[in-house]
Amino acid sequence: MFAVPNVNMREIKLSNVLVATSKLRLGHFSYDERRELELMVASAKGDERNLIMDLQVLFYRALSYGIGRHFCYWRGLVLENEGQELEAKLDFDKARRCGIYIPARSWEMSSGQVLK
């Protein structure tokens, strides 16, 4: 997963998942577009899904340096989409502690869990 400047996004062919991760990482999205981008990441399949699931593990030590915080967010999105809410919350909480804004999920609020 990598970040591509907006100006270059029109020049190269990327999968929807790569476009979404790039926009989410760089903050190049509107309020209304966020959920659409999250759904693109959440529905990743095959090699892209496997990479999203592995990135946080591969870069675990880098989190202490502020590197890889989006990896927690993306993995949380996949886990949430797969109905693994407890595991998703753990990843969302890691990302939130690293400074990533993730809107509260309805299932977080309905379960009475306190958001950090």
pLDDT digits (tens, 9 = 90+) for 49-67: 999 999 878 887 777 777 7
Structural domains in the chain (count): 1
Mean pLDDT across 12-29: 86
Within-domain flag for 115: no
Within-domain flag for 116: no
- Which pLDDT score, from 0 to 100, does residue 75 have? 96
Within-domain flag for 43: yes
HSE-CB of 63 using CA atoms within 13 angstroms: 21
Within-domain flag for 1: no
Q: What is the residue range of 90's domain?
A: 6-110
Residue 114, pLDDT above cutoff 80? no
Residue 27, pLDDT above cutoff 80? yes
Within-domain flag for 31: yes
pLDDT in tens, 93-108: 999 988 899 999 999 8
Burial category of 100 from C-beta neighbours within 10 Å (exposed 0-12, middle 13-18, buried 19 and up)? middle
Within-domain flag for 21: yes
Type of residue numbered 99: G
More confident call, 57 vs 116: 57
Mean pLDDT across 3-17: 69
Contacts of 82 (CB under 8 A, 6+ apart): none
